Structure 1
Amino acid sequence: MKKLTKYLKGYGLVFTLAILSIVLATVMQLAVPILIKYAIDSIVGDVPAGNLQFLMDAFGKSLWGVVWIIVIMSLFRGIFMFLKGYLSSYAAENIAKEIREKLYRQIQYMTFERHTKKETGDMVQRCTSDVEMVRRFIGVQVVDLGRIIFMLVFTLVIMGTMNVELTLYSMIMIPILFFFSYIFFTKIQKTFKKSDEAEGSLTTVLQENLSGVRVVRAFGREEFEIERFDEVNRNHKTVTYKLIETLAVFWASSDLLTLMQNGIVLVVGAGMVIRGELTIGTLTAFITYVSMLLWPVKQLGRLLSEFGKTTVALDRIEEILSEEVEEDKEFERTPEIEGNISFSHVSFAYDAHQKVLNDISFEVRKGQTLGILGSTGSGKSTLVHLLQRLYDYEGSIKVDGHELKTIKRGHIRKKIGLVLQEPHLYAKTVKENIGITKRAYKEKDIFDAAKAASIHNNILTFKDGYDTIIGEKGVSLSGGQKQRIAIARTIIDEDKRILIFDDSLSAVDTETDLRIRQALKERSKDITTLIISHRIQTLAEADQIIVLDEGRVVQKGTHESLIREEGLYKRIWDLQQMAI
């Protein structure tokens, strides 16, 4: 409740008006059995009207007067119910919107390390289904709680004024229902959580399959993916069906207890009517009130079950909102970035067992190109991730003489352009994908960047040219086309002072590779460039080349010096020369 109350702040007046509306609607509802009792006992029968004598004086012994009063009260009850629904829905929708915005903002600033440990489908589940669960609870159950309390209290008071003995008989099953609801609430929470997690796994598998549809088709893995989906789908069905069975047992049992309570009131009340201790109108009203009395008790069970699901959803939402985020520290600055880079005895480990980078040292001056070569898993990509402050490190990394840890993350990342081997493209037009990193771009900027990335002529052959929608993640493009559009997207922003190509020229032929590098050299003379590649021809013109092996720099120098030196670089060079 403490977590839930946090989200209700600012909507106190709205919920107060909603509860007031439901209270007025309940008053109208509770008045109907009294009017029915009056009609049976005083209009049809001869029992004195008592407190309702004013109705007798106004309408005489006319049933139509009672009918019209009930119709008018039902009309007002409908109006108040509408207001209750409108106000509670208004608050719930706004709260859900705020939660989604908080989650999305949190995800944007969550540390990169935490992102790598989260499943995409599960994150989507928390931002959609879990938020929807909270929205439904706030929009329906919170206001219904006020209705339940009000109806319980006032129904018992009204019944007590009619007949205390029968009222006590009417309450026999209430403690049992309360106890049963409490037991149900405590037992059902684990099942709710399992069902939620199973749905998250289902979403993850579906999302991965849709994202990797090209790989699935290329390797003929359709049947495997169907079996994989069937497995998580069966698990989801099993867990959810168990939840439904548990809910069915609860509702069936509570219905049985309700019918038993109605039976007790009917039997005891009928005996009292026979003995002349109770009027028929009072018994009729009691039977109606018992149903009204037991409805909130049963509804309390439903509220508790919904509260159980909402608690699980809130915990999952809070788990994301409590994740560590990247925050600027007071000592962090936004210095002018020119592109001078210095690594001094830098080490890094994803866990305590094995270092990915060990004692890395090198320097790159403004405008120079650094080539990075190494086998898979040698730490090449990790090295450039450290330069973007995606992870903390040991040792010293300086940019233009400033320790990297003292530069604001957002500032240094705006100055660094990173092109990945598998770039992420959006389901937008080619023009929008290239210009997405620059707020106010001109068509000339788009064309110039595309020409530098050697993709301009290809784009002109597309059906709609630069207005061609390329599909989610660029599914309609070849690997080389995706890489070149990603390069154009990166170099269009003139604020970039450092460019990193993380094996992002691997999908283009050597001739295109050469054209791109020459165009980039002419366009970005004062920009520091880091190129990670397995193709030595791509690295050959670099001012300096470092060779990584098992997280260490094992060789350093120019292309000419390294091909004369025995080591990994020369072995790869010889192999690639033999393949030509």
Structure 2
Amino acid sequence: MSPRPVTTRRPTTTRRLGRVVGRERRMLVGLLVFGLLNVALTAAGPWLLGRATDLVLGGALGRRFQAGTTADGAIERLRAEGHGTLADVLGTVPFTPGHGVDFGAVGRMLLAATLVYVAAGLCGVLQAWLANVVSQRVLERLRDEVEDKIHRVPLEYFDRQRRGDVLSRVTNDLDNLGQALQLVLGQFVVPGLSIVGMLAVMFWVSWLLALIALVTAPLSVLVVALVVRRAQPAYARQWRHTGELNGHIEEMFAGHALLKVFGQEQAASETFAEGNEQLSRATVRAQSLSGATQPAMMFLSNLNYVLIAVVGGMQVAAGALTVGGVQAFVQYSRQYSQPFSYLAGMSGMAQSGLASAERVFELLDAPEQAPDAAEPPRGAGSGGAGPRGASDMLGRVTFENVSFRYRPDRPLIEDLQLVAEPGHTVAIVGSTGAGKTTLVNLLMRFYEIDAGRITIDGVDIATMTRGELRSRIGMVLQDPWLFQGTIADNIAYGRPGATRADIVAAATAAHADRFVRTLPDGYDTLVDDDGGAGVSAGERQLLTIARAFLTETPMLVLDEATSSVDTRTELLIQRASARLREGRTAFVIAHRLSTIRDADTIVVMADGAIAEQGTHDELLGRDGAYARLYAAQFARAPAAEVT
């Protein structure tokens, strides 16, 4: 019999979040200590006020008797006169016949109560501060984990996820989680302790009234449980729709110009309105469920207050409890029932925070790219020599029986064989979807191959760390990317220690220096991914090419690097890239065949396979796929007949 497979259960969001918060043990201990002090001091306040009330009542009644009479004698006299109820009440309070209110004692009680409440407030402030510190530390740690995770997920993760939804998880969901943590940590400890502490004090004051107060507790717990069970899915839908709406907004802002060109404003507005309505419905349901708990808890609290007032009055009349004791008990009952209202009110925010935490944990649980090799790459045939550096790398790239597919049921590249000799330029051409960019992505290990291997100087790139591999390859993508910073910072992105002279030299080689100097601040002009400062798409591409010039790498990848420039600039870049490729193994992906005629090897790809390869003249002489592509680009349309 085969062994039973071992399955691992993923911890619930609550437990997982609890483990993250639990790392701040010292802060949590301080939070608990100040919470206990707050509850204890808050419990002492009503008792002191009740004692002050009894002193005032005893003084007011004591003046009705002659001085020199004992308290017991005064009580017996009242009973003899038929005032048994008043005698029972008087028997529960301290008084001295013939003496009025001892304002000194009352003042001391009130002063003590004031100090107690001030101390309780100070403990509350410290508790709130600790809750804020804990929540921010948890958020800081989660942000670090998310940032680290973003760099570990494979490129295909971002191909499947909408960028707006990922941004919503990193920003909105983390912010919402932080607010929920701060509220729960700041107010959950005190209400939880208050329920236990006040209940103990109430049993000490009057066990009968305490039992009456307990009647409403199961109903309160039931209300909170029902809210939690129903609100969690609603909050999950709310934040899912928030992410979807953010994704739509981000896409519409990024493509605003095309939106205008194709007249899709109405369609975009309708999509936004639909997503906005879904978000509104989900939010209303979630907030309504959590909001309905407050009236229910207030009803139960008022019911509890009425029962205690009635029974407490009867106990005072029976002499079993003082008026001050009933007063204190009423305050205790309020403090006992109030935490249930707090917990019910916080349940909505807590469920919203848990829904956001679940979305954040989904991101943290996303499949990661295969880990890097433990050992650095070693030279082929080196017999265990040390790792090869960029300076002694020749740059001979070999694809050996490489197979790859994005989806298991759809093969893309099967048994591909390709060799790029050191210092040679390999141009990759073909129709859209033929696998040109995929080939480069496999070389850069943006995706992992399914079969075969790719070697550089005989070393399997799978044995290299990704950082080590990519540090040896300069790359210019089809879509130019600039970060928010100066032009000089963007050019020096791949070489942070570059001097201004190095930056200017790279820009000059890429024919970017001329337009940079026409900008208001020259190389200190601020730009971003959208250009800024009037920098066009072609000029942004020149800056990325200058960035590649500055990186001294033995290999180079140009993925449609001239697609966004005009014909004159293209010619200038061709000359510059020819100098850039000197002594480097270069892979050039191009649709414009005029840019790769001088390549050492031209590879024509079709359906994930190499249809043919050779030099420009050789491929034209074969009159095959390359010749047809070339003819399609440069053949002139016949002149139209004039009738």
**Structure 2 length-normalised TM:** 0.84
Identity across matched positions, percent:
25
Give the equivalent residue in structure 2 for 1:335: 388
Which of these residues, 194, 211, 220, is aligned with residue 151 of structure 1? Answer: 194
Give the equivalent residue in structure 2 for 1:171: 214
Q: Deviations over 1:390-447 (max 9, x none)?
A: 1111222111111121221111111112211112211222211111111111112111
Check if 1:532 corresponds to 2:589. Answer: yes
Give the equivalent residue in structure 1 for 2:11: none
| CA deviation after TM superposition for structure 1 residue 541, in Å | 0.7
| CA deviation after TM superposition for structure 1 residue 537, in Å | 0.7
Check if 1:544 corresponds to 2:601. Answer: yes
Q: Deviations over 1:437-481 (max 9, x none)?
A: 111111121112112222221222222222222243325432221
Residue 511 of structure 2 aligns to a residue in which SS? coil
User: How does 1:183-262 map onto structure 2 within 5 Å?
Assistant: 183-262=226-305
- Hey, what's the Cα distance between the residues in 2 that align with 1:569 and 1:182? 70
| CA deviation after TM superposition for structure 1 residue 140, in Å | 3.4
Contact 1:427 1:474 in 2 (8 A): no
Q: Provide closer, same or farther for how the CA distance between residues 478 and 61 of structure 1 changes in structure 2, counting only shifts above 3 A.
A: closer
Check if 1:446 corresponds to 2:459. Answer: no
- Hey, what's the Cα distance between the residues in 1 that align with 2:319 and 2:92? 18
Q: Provide closer, same or farther for how the CA distance between residues 219 and 459 of structure 1 changes in structure 2, counting only shifts above 3 A.
A: farther
- Hey, what's the Cα distance between the residues in 2 that align with 1:48 and 1:24? 34
Letter in 2 for 1:27: A
Contact 1:367 1:529 in 2 (8 A): yes
Give the equivalent residue in structure 2 for 1:123: 166
Letter in 2 for 1:328: D
- Hey, what's the Cα distance between the residues in 2 that align with 1:417 and 1:536? 22
- Hey, what's the Cα distance between the residues in 2 that align with 1:146 and 1:67? 28
Give the equivalent residue in structure 2 for 1:3: 16
Letter in 2 for 1:105: D
- Hey, what's the Cα distance between the residues in 2 that align with 1:76 and 1:145? 19
Give the equivalent residue in structure 1 for 2:464: 407
Residue 17 of structure 1 aligns to a residue in which SS? helix
- Hey, what's the Cα distance between the residues in 2 that align with 1:179 and 1:315? 25
- Hey, what's the Cα distance between the residues in 2 that align with 1:511 and 1:159? 89
Give the equivalent residue in structure 2 for 1:16: 29
User: How does 1:415-454 map onto structure 2 within 5 Å?
Assistant: 415-454=472-511
Residue 361 of structure 1 aligns to a residue in which SS? strand
Residue 500 of structure 1 aligns to a residue in which SS? strand
Residue 610 of structure 2 aligns to a residue in which SS? strand
Q: Deviations over 1:471-522 (max 9, x none)?
A: 433254322212111111122111x221111112122233322322222322
| CA deviation after TM superposition for structure 1 residue 62, in Å | 4.5
Structure 2 gaps, min length 5? 1-13, 62-89, 378-386, 638-643
Residue 292 of structure 2 aligns to a residue in which SS? helix
- Hey, what's the Cα distance between the residues in 2 that align with 1:157 and 1:44? 27
Q: Provide closer, same or farther for how the CA distance between residues 134 and 471 of structure 1 changes in structure 2, counting only shifts above 3 A.
A: closer
User: How does 1:276-315 map onto structure 2 within 5 Å?
Assistant: 276-315=319-358
Contact 1:38 1:52 in 2 (8 A): no
Give the equivalent residue in structure 2 for 1:459: 516
Larger displacement relative to structure 2 (1-10 or 554-563)? 1-10
Contact 2:484 2:527 in 1 (8 A): yes
| CA deviation after TM superposition for structure 1 residue 281, in Å | 2.2
Give the equivalent residue in structure 1 for 2:128: 85
Contact 2:49 2:113 in 1 (8 A): no
Give the equivalent residue in structure 1 for 2:428: 372
Contact 2:91 2:319 in 1 (8 A): no
Which of these residues, 28, 37, 44, is aligned with residue 41 of structure 2? Answer: 28
Give the equivalent residue in structure 2 for 1:485: 543
- Hey, what's the Cα distance between the residues in 1 that align with 2:482 and 2:265? 24
Letter in 1 for 2:373: K
Give the equivalent residue in structure 1 for 2:407: 351
Larger displacement relative to structure 2 (8-17 or 364-373)? 8-17
- Hey, what's the Cα distance between the residues in 1 that align with 2:566 and 2:187? 67
- Hey, what's the Cα distance between the residues in 2 that align with 1:559 and 1:220? 43
Residue 96 of structure 1 aligns to a residue in which SS? helix
CA RMSD of aligned residues (A): 2.5
Give the equivalent residue in structure 1 for 2:447: 391
Q: Deviations over 1:121-168 (max 9, x none)?
A: 222222223323333344332353432332122212221122221221
Larger displacement relative to structure 2 (168-177 or 465-474)? 465-474
- Hey, what's the Cα distance between the residues in 1 that align with 2:264 and 2:107? 74
Contact 2:475 2:556 in 1 (8 A): yes
Letter in 2 for 1:545: I
Contact 2:487 2:525 in 1 (8 A): yes
**Structure exhibiting the larger radius of gyration computed from Cα positions:** 2
Letter in 2 for 1:349: R
Residue 419 of structure 2 aligns to a residue in which SS? strand
Contact 1:420 1:503 in 2 (8 A): yes
Letter in 1 for 2:113: I
Check if 1:95 corresponds to 2:115. Answer: no
| CA deviation after TM superposition for structure 1 residue 52, in Å | 13
Letter in 2 for 1:7: V
- Hey, what's the Cα distance between the residues in 1 that align with 2:132 and 2:55? 43
Q: Provide closer, same or farther for how the CA distance between residues 481 and 48 of structure 1 changes in structure 2, counting only shifts above 3 A.
A: farther
Contact 1:427 1:473 in 2 (8 A): no
- Hey, what's the Cα distance between the residues in 1 that align with 2:592 and 2:574? 13
Structure 1 gaps, min length 5? none
Letter in 2 for 1:434: I
Residue 613 of structure 2 aligns to a residue in which SS? strand
